[in-house]
Structures are given as structure tokens and as C-alpha cells.
Structure 1
Amino acid sequence: MHCVDVLVIGAGPSGSIVSALLNKQKLKVICVEKEKFPRFVIGESLLPNCMNILREAGFLKAVESYGFQYKNGAAFSWRDEYRYFDFCDKSSSGDGTTFQVQRAIFDEILINEAIKQGVEVNFNTAVEDIVFLDKYVEVHLSNNQTIKAKYIVDASGYGRVLPRKLGLEVQSSLSSKKAYFTHIQDNINEILYDRNKILITTHPEFRDVWFWLIPFSNGRCSIGVVGEESKLNINANDEDTLKHHVYLAPMLKRLLNNAS
């Protein structure tokens, strides 16, 4: 049986960062991840405070050296109206800029930095069972290994390993939402378009349906729409559904008219 101070479930940004921070405290850490990296995931537009966390974990230099899309704010549109916030326009100290990142690349950079710092990471390894004993946690893994840990950190995100195991999930009072999203070659040629900001757009008809447009440094972008299924469903395939709603928004139609 392998004995550690802390077992971390998930090697995404939260898992890699918490593993690195614990490792810096001279604790014996093992991180397990059910998938193989790189893998596709969304959630690509960082906030400036993320820079503090990346800096503390010792990851910032590696992130800065890659060449991700610079980000200095957020823009919002509805029909032909447009407003923006510049994160550098502030009275407090701290970072005012950050990045917009392809998560497959970003997440792999972070966990590789954690490995360089000495964190043990097992990919393609899922948590099969967790047994809580008096003084430690016994974790049974899909690779037939058993880990004995003093503490366990759930950084599984959507996987919600501990909430599922301990019956802690509570149904949200909000209506369920669906998202259609992809990465595209945006071919945006509008001179005034600001690639340094995420663009959040409200649906021209349904004010509770919204879009994200997150540009990357390689000429591609992440585009998606979020809303109740009843308002998004047009009895078409996913790609046509996304295109239909995107092109209903005047500003997005203008920006992405040449996109592929």
C-alpha cells in the first residue's frame, strides 16, 4: 500500500496548483487523473487574480513563455450595443492583465510544471472507491493500486468524486441549462475588434441566453451559447444549432461572417 500525506483527485488547474503548493510545504503528494493529457475542455478566459495563484505555485513563467492571448478586460454586447471593462482601470494593487488560453495546452503546462517540482502524477487512473477510516483515507484506484492518505483533496471538477461518494450533491434551484460550443478559425477582419477582451453577448430575443467569444493568439477562438434547452432547440444538429443562434446576434454575425 502506497502511503502519502495528501491524495489529490484531478490534474486540471486546481489539482495541479494545489499539488504544487502542498509539495512546497514538504508534504508527500500524489495526484491521480482519470484522463490522459492533453484533453479538450472549456473555461478558457482567465481573470487577473489567476496570475497571483499561478505565481505562488511557480507556474507563471511557463505560462507567460507559451504565447497565449493577452487579456486586459471584458466586453459585453446586446444587439448593436457594446460596452467594455478594462481590468487595468482600477485603484487597487495587483495584476490588471491575464490570458485567454486553449485549455488542452494550458492544463498540460501546469501539470508538467507540478511534475518538474516533484509531484507524482498518475494519468489514466480513476478513483474506484474511498474508505474513510479513523486516522487515514484508503483510496482504491483503477490501476489496482491502493493509496493510504492522511488527507484527500477533490479537484475533480465536473466529476464531483467526493460529493457523489458522500451524498453531498444538492439539486440547484436554477433551471437546467445546455451549452453548444466549439473552436473555430474566426477570420475576424474588423479593424476595431479587440482580441484582448472576452466578448459576452446576450441573445437578441432571449435575455437569459448568452454567448461567449474568446479569441486565442493563433487566429482561432472559442464560441458557445448557453441557455435553457427549450429556447435553444431548433431540431437541428449541434453545429447548425450553434450557427443559427450565433448569427441571430448582429455583432457576432458581423464578426464571424467569414469564420470556418
Structure 2
Amino acid sequence: MPSREPPKHTQILVVGGGPAGSYAAAALAREGFQVVLMEASKFPRYHVGESLIPSVRHYLRFIGAEEKVAQYGFAHKPGSAIKFNQFNREGYTDFVALGHDNSAWNVVRSEFDQLLLQHAASCGVQVFERTRVTSLSFAPPSPAFQGEDTLGRPVSATYVVDASVDSDSPSSPSSWSQYSSGEDDASTITFDYLIDATGRAGLMSTRYLRNRRINDSLKNIATWGYWRDTKMYAKGTARENAPWFEALTDESGWAWFIPLHNGLTSVGVVMSQKCHASRSRAMSEATPPPTPTVPSLPIDRQGSLVSRYLDALKSAPGVMDLIGDGVLTPVKSTSDWSYSASCYAGAGWRIIGDAGAFIDPFFSSGIHLAFTGGLSAATTVAASIRGQCTEAGAAEWHNRRVTTSYTRFLVVVLSAYKQFRAQSIDALADVGEANFDDAFGYLRPVIQGATEMGPQVSASELQRAFDFCVNLFSPTTPEEHKKVAALLAGKTSTVQGVLDVTKPLVDGKTLKEIMEDLNIESTAPSHVDGHDRRSSCDEDDGQDDSARTIKMVFDKVNARRVIHSDHSGIGGFEEEALGGLVARLVQGNLGLVRA
């Protein structure tokens, strides 16, 4: 990385060199803009969040980084296995079925993040590590921006260079005070545009706007460790080494099992703070068992964090089976991570990645949303510089793009939590009525019925959205999808289109008619009360196994349409108009155009 001093002025300043910051910086530098990136840490540095989704390939391709990542040697991720119910088999989502280049990776984040930062530098970004921005200065506010953005346009940043920072430092400070301490040898850089990618610390959101809010419905604690010598999921099959996700048997949360290329497996448990506290109290009051009930450990299992972690894993029998005789390395924990902001852009500034919002580890949306924000910031800054729209219009587009993608993934994640906890989730305040309408306006007639729709989203409508989206995780297999496709072969294009995730959503009436045309009795959805109580092997409930399977396949494909454009590519940027504008993703002419 460059060792020279930062310039006195730059066209665009990116603060933070994680995936969001590196992505935005690389995209803008490839457009010929002058970009400086300041990162407080020295890479490589540790970070959790190893599992990626297929859209990442398409994002990387746009900035010319796909081959670098593909050839690096990260663990291949052909799909993912998810088990909601211990009485059901797991469901499996096959990424490769949608195309050979649709697979993803499980990555060691220290290596992945460094690869992206180095790529940004190779694109022409001036990268300065160990360079910590401590404060910002603003010009007087513009009358063009109303509401929250009364700060004015940011025009300069104060920073310090800390040679003592090394790669063992925390990946992201948990509060802004850790960023802002120590300005004895501070310098200043001026800029035209600011992109805040400061991660959880959140320079703009927590220190200046103060608009961060914790999602009450996802107040969780995650505890995780890394294991050696574990088993492999579905060894010898096309699903080999896919990650495994599992609901805890006590309905308090879920667990992950993610194999990595370095011989380690990331194994974590996520549960509500309330359940975590209850378990901790129970453990402190209980008499220790006379003999060990977990794999042998090279670390002190008497430590409270390790003990709580191992105790929680007992509620994930599938994960415990995959761990087998594995050996555990030190354990980590974090809490209160799910949050969002009411605003992600304003005059001359954009907020991206964890600096603005983070949902939950489930569904591996973190890097996707980081890249979404990064590309949106690059697109709207480029549009503003090139005069393709006003800066106010560009900022509004970024706000809506980030909020829309965030809300879609939030609803999908909450639908899964409704299953984990086997109860309804009061999340209307977390989702937001306006946000839901932007993200799911096309879904409302399908789940509610056009004649029943009111002007605002209701709590019951949100629960229906959860019940619709949770079908994304139904326990179907790729083989069953192929059998259903064979059954539909030779039928009309409308019927065959039911299995095409790129087609529009299909309402319940149409699905019922198709089932009747196939001489199959349509039945009520399995997820009628937020809890899948049926086993795929049940044969005494009056429903034929083949009919149930076909219905589950139809519902799963239909639910996948909700986030297909987000999950599997970047086409939504060019297809989904926001405020009458769509992105133009053409290198050398990146920006916004009229829809």
C-alpha cells in the first residue's frame, strides 16, 4: 500500500477499507475520478461473516475483481442447507442450478477484505492504512436538503496516522470514541464527496446524524468459534462442503456451520439476549456434570464464554454431529448488532455497509448489502459529478436503494426468525411502513388481495409477508425441483413459468388453478401459524406426498422471486426505477438515467 502522505485535497474521500469502502472506491476510480481511501487498521485484520451469496460474483465482475477472488482458493459454496424443524429433513438451496457461475464462496474475511483493498489500490485508489479519521467539518446547510440533513455539506476531515496499529487490532471499533481519540498530530484533507464506510462505529450515523436505531425484534447475541478436524456436509455429493444452518431445538435461535479453505470451520450460535441471559443464569446455578459431554478442547472449557457456547451448541444436534471429534480454538462473542438508520445520504455524502445498517448473520446478507451500498454510492456520486441529476436527486436515489435492499433482506430474515421462535414477531416498527411499501409494493396484492389493501401496511399484512417469504427455506431438494420440472414438461408456457424465478410473482389463485390442471389437489400452506408442524414423511394428514412436494416447490420458487434480483445479481440496479431513475452500469459512463 502507498506509504506517502495523503494529499491535501481529493475529489472523493472514502473512510473505511472494508468490503463496502473498497468496493465503492474501486468503482469510482475505474471511472477516472480521484479517490482517497483512509483505513484505521492495518490489513489483514480479523472479521467474522464468512459466508457469501451468489450476487457477490456479479458485483465483483463489475469492478473487475471476480477472477482474483475465484482463483484465490476460497472454499466453494455450491448452495446452503437449512433445517428449521428437527422432525423434518433439511431444505437445500442449489446455487449452481441457476448457472455454473452462480456459486459463491465461504471466505476467510481477513484475506478476502485484504484482497478487495489491494484491488482498489490496483484500480487507482490512493489507499492509506493506519490512517484514522477523527472528525469532519461541514459547510452551511443547503436549502435543497430538508429534514434530517441539516448538517450541511462535509468539506474536510481531520485524521491521524497511527503507526502502532497492527493487524491484530479490532476489525471495527464498536463506538465512535475509539476512532476519535488522540488528535495530537492531526492533519486535514478536503474533499468534494464523502463516503462513510466506517463499519459498526458509524462516523456519520452515530456521531453527527445520531439516527441509528437498534432493531428490537433482533436483539440477539452471537457466540462463535473455529474448529479443526470437523466432518463435511454431504460428502461425495454435489452438495459437498455446503454450509449448514439449523434452528435450535429450544426455539431460542439458530446455529451455523461454515467450512473455510484454511482447514477451519466457523461454528456459531445466535440467540435472543433474553434467552442468552436465562441460560447463563441457569448455568451459574447448576451443578457441573461429573464427566465431559463435548469434544475434547485444547483451551480452558471452564471459561464462562466457552461454557455458554458449548452449552448452546447442544441445542443444535445437526451441528454437533458435523463437529464430531473436532477441536475448538478460542471463542468470540458480540451483541446488539442489528440496526439501521433513517437516512443514508445527503449533500455530498453517502453512508454504506455496516456504517449505516446491519441485519443479522442469517442469510449471509452482510457482504451483499455492503456491495449494494458501495455500488449505489459510486453510481450516485458519479451521476452527481456528471450532472445527470441534481445532488439532491442522487442522494435520494441512494437512500431508497439502500433502504429497499435492506428491507427486503430484513423481512426474509424476520420470516426465518418467526419459524425459529415459533411465534409471530412484532416488527412493524423495525421494518417501517414506507420502507415496506418501497421494497414490497409488488408483493402486497399477492399476499393481501388487491381489494383488501389499505393505504398503509398493517401488522397482519407484515405477518402474511413473513409467512410468504419463509417458503424460501422450505425443505425441498434439487432433485424434487427437477422432478416437478419434468412433470411440467410439455405444458403451456404459463405453467412451466411457475418454476422460473425470473418471472413475476404468482398469486395463490393462479397456483391453485395450475395444481388443478395437473389433477393435483391444492392444499393450505404449511406455514399457517409461523411454525412448520408437518414432516415431509407424514402420510396420514389427508394429503398426498407428491402433492405436498409440488406445492412446496411452487411456493419456494415464488418466494425466491421476492429477492432474486438482489440475491443472484445486480440487474435490479438497471431495472428497478427509484424516483424515475435507474442505474447505468457501464464502465466509463456509470451513473443514473431516466427510466
Q: TM-score, normalised by structure 2?
A: 0.41
CA contact (8 A) 2:233 2:243 kept: no
Tell me, in whole angstroms, the C-alpha distance in 1 between the residues paired with 2:154 and 2:221: 39
Q: CA, structure 1 residues 171+245, in 2 after alignment: closer, same or farther (shift >3 Å)?
A: closer
Which residue pairs with 1:253 in the alignment? 320
CA deviation after TM superposition for structure 1 residue 79, in Å? 2.7
Q: CA, structure 1 residues 231+173, in 2 after alignment: closer, same or farther (shift >3 Å)?
A: closer
Answering whether residue 211 of structure 2 is matched by residue 205 of structure 1, we say no
Q: Which runs of 5+ in 1 are unaligned?
A: none
Q: CA, structure 1 residues 195+158, in 2 after alignment: closer, same or farther (shift >3 Å)?
A: farther
Tell me, in whole angstroms, the C-alpha distance in 2 between the residues paired with 1:94 and 1:46: 16
Q: CA RMSD in A?
A: 2.1
Q: How does 1:64-83 map to 2 (within 5 A)?
A: 64-77=70-83, 78-79=85-86, 81-83=89-91
Tell me, in whole angstroms, the C-alpha distance in 2 between the residues paired with 1:154 and 1:186: 40
Q: Give the counterpart of 1:113 among 119, 122, 135.
A: 119
Tell me, in whole angstroms, the C-alpha distance in 2 between the residues paired with 1:195 and 1:140: 50
Which residue pairs with 1:163 in the alignment? 205
One-letter amino acid of the counterpart of residue 256, structure 1? I
Which residue pairs with 2:191 in the alignment? 149
Q: How does 1:174-185 map to 2 (within 5 A)?
A: 174-185=217-228
Q: CA, structure 1 residues 19+191, in 2 after alignment: closer, same or farther (shift >3 Å)?
A: closer
CA contact (8 A) 1:246 1:252 kept: yes
Q: Give the counterpart of 1:85 among 77, 81, 93.
A: 93
Tell me, in whole angstroms, the C-alpha distance in 2 between the residues paired with 1:167 and 1:140: 20
Q: How does 1:17-32 map to 2 (within 5 A)?
A: 17-32=23-38
Tell me, in whole angstroms, the C-alpha distance in 2 between the residues paired with 1:44 and 1:202: 19
Which digits, 9 at most, give the CA deviation of each residue in 1:43-100, with x for residues without a partner?
111111111111111211211121101112111124363111102334xx79421111
How many residue pairs get matched? 257
Say which is worse superposed, 183-192 or 106-115, in terms of deviation.
183-192
**Runs of 4+ in structure 1 over 6 Å off:** none
Classify the secondary structure of the residue corresponding to 2:243: strand
Tell me, in whole angstroms, the C-alpha distance in 1 between the residues paired with 2:159 and 2:53: 34
One-letter amino acid of the counterpart of residue 247, structure 1? K
Tell me, in whole angstroms, the C-alpha distance in 2 between the residues paired with 1:257 and 1:100: 21
One-letter amino acid of the counterpart of residue 202, structure 2? R
Tell me, in whole angstroms, the C-alpha distance in 2 between the residues paired with 1:186 and 1:240: 20
Which residue pairs with 2:157 in the alignment? 139
Q: CA, structure 1 residues 141+42, in 2 after alignment: closer, same or farther (shift >3 Å)?
A: same
Which digits, 9 at most, give the CA deviation of each residue in 1:203-260, with x for residues without a partner?
0112x41111111123311111111233233446222221221133221111112110
CA contact (8 A) 2:244 2:319 kept: no
Q: CA, structure 1 residues 139+175, in 2 after alignment: closer, same or farther (shift >3 Å)?
A: same
Q: CA, structure 1 residues 45+52, in 2 after alignment: closer, same or farther (shift >3 Å)?
A: same
More helix by share: 2
CA deviation after TM superposition for structure 1 residue 104, in Å? 0.5
CA contact (8 A) 1:67 1:217 kept: yes
Which residue pairs with 2:270 in the alignment? 226
Q: CA, structure 1 residues 175+83, in 2 after alignment: closer, same or farther (shift >3 Å)?
A: closer
One-letter amino acid of the counterpart of residue 255, structure 2? F
Q: CA, structure 1 residues 20+190, in 2 after alignment: closer, same or farther (shift >3 Å)?
A: closer
Tell me, in whole angstroms, the C-alpha distance in 2 between the residues paired with 1:110 and 1:215: 21
Tell me, in whole angstroms, the C-alpha distance in 1 between the residues paired with 2:270 and 2:52: 19
One-letter amino acid of the counterpart of residue 217, structure 2? L
CA deviation after TM superposition for structure 1 residue 36, in Å? 1.2
Classify the secondary structure of the residue corresponding to 1:197: coil
Q: CA, structure 1 residues 191+47, in 2 after alignment: closer, same or farther (shift >3 Å)?
A: closer
Tell me, in whole angstroms, the C-alpha distance in 2 between the residues paired with 1:12 and 1:197: 25
Q: CA, structure 1 residues 191+166, in 2 after alignment: closer, same or farther (shift >3 Å)?
A: closer
One-letter amino acid of the counterpart of residue 316, structure 2? A
One-letter amino acid of the counterpart of residue 86, structure 1? D
Q: Give the counterpart of 1:36 among 22, 32, 42.
A: 42
CA deviation after TM superposition for structure 1 residue 173, in Å? 3.2
Classify the secondary structure of the residue corresponding to 1:75: strand
Tell me, in whole angstroms, the C-alpha distance in 2 between the residues paired with 1:244 and 1:173: 25
CA deviation after TM superposition for structure 1 residue 186, in Å? 4.0
Q: TM-score, normalised by structure 1?
A: 0.91
Classify the secondary structure of the residue corresponding to 1:70: strand
Which residue pairs with 1:57 in the alignment? 63
Tell me, in whole angstroms, the C-alpha distance in 1 between the residues paired with 2:51 and 2:107: 6
Which digits, 9 at most, give the CA deviation of each residue in 1:161-215, with x for residues without a partner?
1101221212423252111012221421676484442211100112x41111111
Q: CA, structure 1 residues 254+129, in 2 after alignment: closer, same or farther (shift >3 Å)?
A: same
More strand by share: 1
Say which is worse superposed, 218-227 or 80-89, in terms of deviation.
80-89
Tell me, in whole angstroms, the C-alpha distance in 1 between the residues paired with 2:46 and 2:262: 17
Which digits, 9 at most, give the CA deviation of each residue in 1:101-130, with x for residues without a partner?
000011011101111222111112222111
Tell me, in whole angstroms, the C-alpha distance in 1 between the residues paired with 2:307 and 2:216: 30
Q: Give the counterpart of 1:126 among 129, 132, 156.
A: 132
Classify the secondary structure of the residue corresponding to 1:170: strand
Classify the secondary structure of the residue corresponding to 1:152: strand
Tell me, in whole angstroms, the C-alpha distance in 1 between the residues paired with 2:25 and 2:243: 29
CA contact (8 A) 2:95 2:102 kept: yes
Tell me, in whole angstroms, the C-alpha distance in 2 between the residues paired with 1:158 and 1:190: 32
